[in-house]
Amino acid sequence: SQQGEEDPQALSIQEGENATMNCSYKTSINNLQWYRQNSGRGLVHLILIRSNEREKHSGRLRVTLDTSKKSSSLLITASRAADTASYFCATGSFKTIFGAGTRLFVKA
């Protein structure tokens, strides 16, 4: 069973808008990662946030982590059509557990 649960399951926005995806997990973690998957392809690592960090930025990506609520959020600012993909949060160092993902569709 999946540990991470993403919310929403699907998101459709216009190009230029911001997209926010949320992830909840069940057990204590050392770090949490976000991955992107384009249709029918492998996953690409986006960003890793450690359990002692509350916020992290990478380009247009902003990730927050609230270990007390066992939740994380991924914000993509100024979205582009090329951001259309599925986004997954993942926990665990070796036995990595992925959520079911948020499907983001950015309309040009």
Partner 1 sequence: DTGVSQDPRHKITKRGQNVTFRCDPISEHNRLYWYRQTLGQGPEFLTYFQNEAQLEKSRLLSDRFSAERPKGSFSTLEIQRTEQGDSAMYLCASSSRNFTTSAKNIQYFGAGTRLSVL
**Chain residues in the site for partner 1 (CB under 8 A):** 2, 4, 30-31, 33, 35, 40-45, 48, 50, 88, 90, 92-101
Cβ neighbours for 15, distance < 8 A, ≥ 6 positions apart = 79, 80, 81, 106, 107, 108
Complex with partner 1: residue 14 or 96, whichever CB lies closer: 96
Complex with partner 1: residue 14 or 45, whichever CB lies closer: 45
Closest by Cα among 11, 9, 33 to 83: 11
Question: Least Å distance between CB 89 and partner 1?
Answer: 9
Question: Least Å distance between CB 40 and partner 1?
Answer: 8
DSSP β-ladder status, 43-50 and 31-37: antiparallel
Question: Least Å distance between CB 16 and partner 1?
Answer: 28
Closest by Cα among 86, 92, 65 to 19: 86
40 conformational bin, left if phi > 0, alpha if psi -120 to 50, beta if neither: left
Complex with partner 1: residue 94 or 108, whichever CB lies closer: 94
Complex with partner 1: residue 45 or 80, whichever CB lies closer: 45
Question: Least Å distance between CB 101 and partner 1?
Answer: 5
